[in-house]
Structures are given as structure tokens and as C-alpha cells.
Structure 1
Amino acid sequence: MAFGSFAGLLDATIINVAIGPLATAFDTEIGTVQWVVTGYLLAITATLPLGSWAMARFGARQILLFSQVVFLFGSLMSGLAWDAPSLIGFRILQGIGGGLALPVSQALIAQAAGPKRLTRLMSVVTVPALFAPLVGPSLGGVIVDHVSWRWIFLVNVPLCAVSITLFAWRVHNVVRPVKNAALDVVGLVLLVPALAGIVWGLSEAGTTGSFTDTRALIGLGGGLVLGVAFVAHALRRRTEAFLDLQLFRVREFTAGNLTSMIMAVAMYGVLIPLPLYFQVVQGTSVLVSALMLLPQSIGYLIAVILLQRLTQMLGVRTVTIAGAVLVAVGTLPYVVLDDDPNQFLLGAALVVRGLGLGASMMPTMTAAFGSVPRDVVPRATSAFHVFQRIGASLGTALLTVILQQEALKHLPAGVPSLTAVVPDSPTAHALATAFRAPFWWALAFTVLALVPAFFLSGRRTPPAPEAAAAAPRAAATTGLPE
């Protein structure tokens, strides 16, 4: 499972450095090539809710093998793409494979581990998440500069081949598939375009630097209308909805989900302003700016190593709150940025921030999954990742828009945007204080995450799910404890 998740996580970050070279290779605009990233993101988001139904209907092992085959084929064809539209189409195919793999793999792990072992096991299988963001941009830069942009996608082929072999050899279904598992078609028709619209609208807002852009408004408005319609449908439906909103009757699941979603805003929102500060203000290369994010990954790794012991000693709630506080402390040096900062302080702050992210994000996941019965876990993982993806997209769009709007206040006449600034120039140095604003917002969201974190369980291990008989009324409709 740990190895199998690496290719998808790597692919989400390795492409970022290739947007410019791809535009040159296909002789097209940056806005068109940007859909190579946006299409992949939309496909993942739209496919996430399908994971729980597909796992129940066909079995986790079968869906994992299918997802890896789809991802492999999409990677191969992306590497062989002949123009921008074909590449975008094959990237969407990749996203379908990636969107199915993530919730299904975590649901299978949660079912096999049970609540008492979930924290330890999730700490192990999420280790690739530490290395993919670190290796991705650097590896992408080396491939684009010294080999070919096509190998950004072709590098996934051997990884997927090994994953398919390992899955076929070692993975087994914990819960048997149900051949007559019903699919909520109405929910599918409402929710998938709703999620796609919201994520697309947020992506357009981040690209254009404004939430009032026509495409951003269409995407967000249409997505929200369809989302409200889905909520109304799901609450009226007596049987299982496409995305089970009844899960939010479980306090632990709701608290873990909200905490993770808000922390995702703070975590993913700074992934654009942070390297941009190093590249524009300090004039570093893309590779060097990627390496300067290494301290945060080191902090995250330390937190994951210590997480199991800390959770057993202090409990999920205490560890999560302490993690959020560390993220806030690690963000503070960035809210007072200037053009000549103390580099050691910035690096140390990223270590602290990484420690906090590892300590706050992982327990919320294990608490949410450990709070529901084993047969409900697939629905819980799908819902959890849908809301976390929305939080990540919101954070990226919101903090990017804030940065661009703040930068416009500092740009001299004749310089239209942040991307037109010459790195390490007097104009770039004058922009340093503009980077404070997105970090202030990241700090605010981190503090906001403390509110739902206080409603997490204070127990030292994730709570074992109660029998459905303990809550007959809830069990009659959802099978969940109240």
C-alpha cells in the first residue's frame, strides 16, 4: 500500500515545473497547458466519492488493481501525447485511477487494522506522502532539463507495474464485496458535477487572481447549487446516499473531518506563496526553492515517527491541538517577512511547522476512521477525502488570490503581474512584504482549526465503534453509533 500510493502522489507534484516547457513543446498558451494540472485535479475530486460504492460492489483488491491499470495506461499515453488536448485527456484518465486508489486503499487499511492499530499503521503507509512533494519538483526539474518532458509521465509506468504485482500478490479483501450493492444514481448525477464545479471555480480564481472572474463565478455558483441539491437529496434518502452525510451524526467523525479540512487550507494554501517568495524575492532557482522546503518534510517525518507513542500517552485531542499550535508558531516568522530574512529562522520555523502538520493531520484521520464500524469505513474514507480535497483547493485558490491582490499594491507602473517581476531585483525586494498576507490567512485558519479539534476524543487511543444495537434508531437508517 505504501509503495502503491507513491506514483499518484509523485505525479501531483512533478508536473508543476513542466508547465512552461509543455507550452513551448506544444506551441500553445500557458492557460491551455494549465488544464494538464486542472484536469487531473478535477478527475481525482470527481472520482473520490465512487470509491466506497466500488469497493462494496467489486471488492477493494479488484478496485485497487483496476485503478493501478488505469493510472499506468494514462501515464503511458500522457508520455506519448501528440498535442495539448490529447495530454489533457490522458491526464484526466490518470486522475480517475488516482481518485479511486486513495480512498479504497485507506479504507482497506482501516478495516484490516481496526481502531487500536490504525494510528501506527497509517503512520507507516503515509510515509511516501513525505517524500513525494520533496522529490517531485526536484525530479521534475532534472527530467525536463536533461531528458524530456515525456519522462515526467513515463516514470510512473515501472512504479505502477510493481504496484500491480504487489497488489495481486499480497492484497486481499477484508470485507467481501456485495453483488447487489445499490448505486445512488441521482446522487451521482448531482454530486460529481458539483464537486467538479467547485474545484474548477476555485482553480480559476487562483489562476486569474480574482473570485469575481466569470469562469470562477460560473464554476463556484453552479457547483454550490448542485451541492445544495445533493444535500437535500441525501438527507431525504432512506437508503445509503452516494456520499453518506449521515456519517456526520458521529461527533468524532465530524470533528476529525472539519479539523482536517481547515488544516488542509493552511497546509496547501502556502505551497504556492512559499516557493514563490524564494524564487522571486531571493532569486533562487526552482530546484533550490524546492530544496528549501526540505525542513518542513523533516519535521513532518519526525512527527510521524513519534505519533503513535504521543497519541498513546496524551490522546488524540491533545496531540491534534498541540500540532495546530506548532503550525501556528511555525507560521509566525512568515507573517513578518522582508527582503533580507534570517534564513536559519525560516528553516527552523518550517521544521516546527512540519512537526505540527504531522501531529495534527494524522490523528484527525485515524480518529475519523476509527469512530465508525468497520463496514462503514469505505464511506467514511470517501467523505473524508472529498472534504479534504475541497479544503486543499480552497486554500490554494484563496491564498493565491490574496497574494496576487496584495502584490498589485506594490508593483510599479508597467509591471502587470507578479510573474513579470525580475527575480532578485529592487522591484522583487519591494514585494517581500506582500507575501505576509497569505501567511496571516494561513495562521488564521490554523487557529480556527482548534475549534473542532476540541471536540475530538480525549481518549489515548481512537474509540472503538459501539455496536449498532446500542443505538437502534441510528442503526435502523445508517448503522452508525450516535
Structure 2
Amino acid sequence: MTDPPTEIDARLLRAAFVLVLGTFMATLDATIVNVGIDTLAQEFGATVTEIQWVTTAYLLAVLLAVPSSGWIVDRFGGRRTWIGAVILFLAGSLLCALAWSIESLIVFRVIQGLGGGLLPPVGQALVAREAGPKRIGRIISIVGVVPLLSPVIGPIVGGSILGVADWPWLFWVNLPIGIVAALLALRFVAPNPPAAQGAPFDVRGAALLPPGVAALVFGLTELGNGRAVGSAPVLLGLVGGVVLLAGYVVHALRMRGVPLIDLRLFTRSPFGAAASALIILGASVYGAMFLLPLYFQIGRGLTPFAAGLLLVPQGVGAAIGSIVVNRTVDRVAPRTLVLTGIGLIALGTVLFTQLGSVPSDPLIVASLLVRGIGLGMIGAPVMSIVYSSMPHAQLPRASSALNLLNTLGGSVGTAVLAVILQSRLAARAPLGEPGVALAFADTFWWTLGFCLVAVVGATRLPRRAPAEHAST
């Protein structure tokens, strides 16, 4: 039996590039469309409540798709599932570009979200399988920076598109990227047979988990949009979500077969600690990417394009952090890398808790650069220790669970921060314009709280470097 390869060769790089292209397309589209929300509202004559469903519908569809990705890969094979997800995403994009009303656009965003939700977990599982345990850390550090860059690049691309073209081009732009990605996947991604064609689908779990997550996020989103706590949409979402999720926990722990998301994975070391770190990473990345553009536009009066440019340093920092991890992930303990990353995120966030003093642009740039470096240092070591410790047959299920947690952390974290921001804006309203900056500062304190919670999970990560494990 030959030892698994240790060098990052051209074949692996080509496959990883193709697979990450799909993730990039899906995550980039989400932020591009966010920039065009106001334009879409004017085009369709939609109210604020109606137009927010363009974003919410996509997010809820993603939350429905992610938990099912492990079973789909087991049933149909990884490459076939990934290409099918690209085609579904492109079909949704095409229909969105042709939408004739706000209702049709929302429906087509659901189709787009179902395809987009499958791309990250399936792509990560395929990369992990192709790389093997001795290369997974370094290759993840290379391709893992892409999801961090897309929220930064998205506002710039979206602002540029709307500056020279009509709104349908927010969706047309996906078609050439997706077609190229699907064709390259046929050429460079190795086919893999289904792992368990006869495994039954967890129907009861699918009826409990995805709707439960979606209902919970919907309730928080409605609360963030100004609905009262006692209103029917909020109560139905929050209470219904908690009841469905509790039902799934009972079902998954009692089920004899393979549940949609195997909760027993979280009791295994290092999966449980890694999962908690990824939840907080999702909340930190997506929560801050929700607050920062809003502050730049509402608190400082910048255009969406200018706000996007001001976020570029965070993307540059993420690239620097990924380079650091690529060179150290096999020699430095995961716990050390992740705790350092969390510390840098916290340091880069401190400035935004002091917005009442109107920080200068150079100070903002420096803080975002530091914050980006920290973000780039967390994802790769966390996913590396999980994927390298999992048998190949369990990779799709593990990837599905990790991506669900990351998405859940991001969506719930963003919704919670939206609720907090709204309450602080109301409380600071008597102060006039300075109160807006102070309300954002109050909310950023919560992102620092996320970092403290993340430290608890990170301290449970392995204390020894992967190379030390291999030598014993």
C-alpha cells in the first residue's frame, strides 16, 4: 500500500481551483445582489418588507440545501452532484435575470439558492478527498481564502455593474463563470462513485432540520426588520424553529440509520471543538460584513462602491493570513493558529467599538487589514484537522455538518446583530447624527463577545502540530 502524497502538485491545484470557482460564484453572487437591493426595489416598485425577501429567500434555500448535501453525494457521487449544483444555480440565475415581478424574482432566488447551497460543502468534500490527510491543511489554506474574499469583492463588482448596466446583469454575470466551471470540472475533477447507493434518505430528519433552521432564521430576520417580538411572524419563526430543531435532536439521537446530520460527530474530538470555532467564524465574518458596509454608507455617507473599496484591506489581510497558514499549518498546533487568528480579529474589531470619535480612514484600513489576517488564519486549520481525521466515506457528511454550522453561525449571527443594531439606533435616536455612529459602536461590542465565545472552543483544539502526530 503506497503512502498518501505529501506535495501540492499541479493536478491537485487544478482540481481545487475548479471546485473553489463554484464556491466563489455562489458567495460572490450573494453580496453582488445585496448591493443592488435598492435598485431592485425601485425597478419592481417593491416595499422594504417585500424586497428583503430577495435576500432572505436565497438564504433560506441555502439552509435547506446544505444539510442534504452529504446524502446526495453518497447517492449520486461527488463530481456529478457538484456539476448538477452548478447547473441548478445557473438555471436560477437565468430565471432571475428574466424575472418580471418581485414575486417571480423571489421564487427564482430559491432555485438559485438550492444550487448555491450545495456548492461549498460538496466542493470541500471533493478537495479533501483529492488532497488526502497530508496535503489537506495546505490546500485548504490556499482555496479557503476565496469565501473570505467574495464578500469584499462583491460590493465592488455589484457597484461597477450597476454603474454601467441594468440590474439583470447582476445575474447574467454568473453564466460565463458557471459554464466554464462545469466544463473544467469534467476535465480536471476525478469522478468518484457513489458511496452508499442503497442508503435511505432521512425523510423525517429532512422534515425537521432544514425547516427548523429556516424558521429560526426567518423569525430573527423579521425581528431585525422591525417586527414586534409578539408579532405572529416572529413568534411562528422563533417558536416553530426551536420546536422543530428540538424534534430533530431527539430523532437524530434515536435513529438507527444515518441521520441527515449525525449529531454524534460533535461528541468526537476534534470535531466538536472545530465545529464551535466555525460557528463563531461564520458569525464574525458575515455579521461584520453586514455591519461594516451599513456603517460606511449610513454612518459616513459613502456610496456602495466606495464602501466596497474601503473593505478591500480585509480581503488583502485574509490573503496574507492564508499565506501564513499555508507555510505553518503542518508545523504549528491548530490551537495556536486559531487562537492567534481570534486574537487578531478581536484586535481589528476594537476600533469599531469606538466609532463615536470618528476614526480616520488610515486607522480603519489598518484595523480591517489586521482583522482580515485573523480571519484567514482560522478556517484552514479547523477544516484540516477535521478532514484529515475522517475516513473518506464520511467526508461528505462531515463537510455537510461543518458548512451547515458555518452558514447557521453567519445567518443567525447576522440576524441577531440586526436586531441589536435596530434597538440601539432607536435608543440613540435622541442624539441625532452622532447617535448613529454610537449605535453601530454598541453593536460591534457584540462581535467582540463572539470572539470571547470562540476562544472557549478553540482551547479544546489539538495542542500538537500535524507533523508531530505523524512522527509518533
Q: Normalising to structure 1: TM-score of the pair?
A: 0.90
- Contact kept, 8 Å, 1:11 with 1:136, in 2: the verdict is yes
Residue of structure 2 aligned with 1:455, choices 449, 454, 460 = 460
What are the superposed Cα offsets for residues 146-191 of structure 1, whole Å, 9 maximum, x if unpaired?
Answer: 2100010011011111011011222123454432122111111111
Residue 185 of structure 1 pairs with residue 190 of structure 2: no
| Structure 1 SS opposite 2:22 | coil
SS at match of 1:431: helix
Does 1:235 find its partner at 2:240? Answer: no
Aligned partner of 2:434 among 412, 429, 434: 429
Say which of 335, 338, 359 aligns to 2:356. 338
1:275 equivalent in structure 2:
293
CA contact (8 A) 1:337 1:436 kept: yes
Alignment counterpart, residue 69 of structure 1, candidates 71, 87, 94: 87
1:288 aligns to 2:306 (yes or no): yes
Distance 1:130 1:324 in 2: 15
Conserved? CA contact 2:40–2:51, under 8 Å: yes
Structure with greater helix share of residues: 2
Q: Aligned with 1:220: secondary structure? A: helix
Deviations 1:69-109 (A, max 9, x none): 11111111110111111111111000111112211111111
Query: Residues 354 and 441 of structure 2 are in contact (CA less than 8 Å); yes or no, is this contact kept in structure 1?
Result: yes
User: One-letter code of the match for 2:345?
Assistant: V
Percent pairwise identity: 39
Measured on the aligned residues, the alpha-carbon RMSD in Å equals 1.9
The structure 1 residue matched to 2:174, chosen from 128, 149, 156, is 156
Aligned CA distance change for structure 1 residues 337 and 197 (closer, same or farther; 3 Å): same
Worse-superposed segment, 322-331 or 205-214: 205-214
Contact 1:209 1:405 in 2 (8 A): no
Partners of 1:184 and 1:241 within 8 A in 2: yes
How many Å separate the matches in 2 of 1:377 and 1:41? 24
The one-letter amino acid of 1:359's match is M
- The reply on whether 1:440 has 2:445 as its aligned counterpart is yes
CA distance in 2, matches of 1:377, 1:214: 40
Q: Say which of 320, 340, 362 aligns to 2:338.
A: 320
- Give the secondary structure class of the aligned counterpart of 1:42: helix
SS in 2 for 1:380: helix
Q: How does 1:76-475 map to 2 (within 5 A)?
A: 76-174=94-192, 176-208=194-226, 211-412=229-430, 427-461=432-466
| Distance in structure 1 (CA, Å) of the matches to 2:316 and 2:373 | 8
Instruction: Please tell me the residue identity of whatever aligns with 2:460.
Output: F
Report if aligned partners of 1:370, 1:462 keep a CA contact under 8 Å in 2.
no
- Cα deviation, residue 266, structure 1: 2.4
Give a deviation string over 1:28-76, Cα, whole Å, max 9, x none: 2121121111111000111101111010111001101111111111111
Letter in 1 for 2:234: A
TM superposition shift of 1:301: 0.6
**Change over 3 Å in CA distance of 1:127–1:451 after alignment to 2:** closer
Cα distance between partner residues in 2 of 1:30 and 1:376: 43
Task: Give the whole-Å Cα distance in 2 for the aligned partners of 1:217 and 1:351.
Answer: 40
Q: Separation in 2 of the partners of 1:24 and 1:320?
A: 44
One-letter identity of the residue aligned with 1:99: G
2:70 to 26, 47, 52: 52
Query: SS of 1:268's equivalent?
Result: helix
Distance 2:194 2:207 in 1: 27
Q: Secondary structure at the match of 1:82?
A: coil
The runs of 4+ residues in structure 1 deviating greater than 6 Å are 462-465
Matching residue of 1:476:
none
CA deviations on 1:226-277 (whole Å, 9 max, x unpaired) are 1111110110111111111121121200000001102322222222222222
Alpha-carbon contact 1:280-1:428 (below 8 Å) kept: no
Matching of residue 33 in structure 1 with residue 32 in structure 2: no
Q: Secondary structure at the match of 2:258?
A: coil
Letter in 1 for 2:291: P
- TM-score for the superposition, normalised by structure 2: 0.92
Report the more deviating stretch, 361-370 or 109-118. 361-370
Contact 2:425/2:435, CA 8 A, preserved across alignment: no
Amino acid at match of 2:287: G
Which range moved further: 272-281 or 5-14? 272-281
Give unmatched runs, 5+ long, in structure 2. 1-18
Which letter does structure 1 place at the counterpart of 2:413?
G
Q: Does the CA contact (< 8 Å) of 2:145 and 2:376 recur in 1?
A: no
- CA deviation profile, 1:391-410 (whole Å, cap 9, x unmatched): 11121111121111111122
One-letter code aligned to 1:260:
L
- Unmatched runs of 5 consecutive residues or more in structure 1: 413-425, 466-482
In 1, the alpha carbon distance for the partners of 2:363 and 2:69 equals: 43
Instruction: Report the secondary structure of 1:178's partner residue.
Output: coil
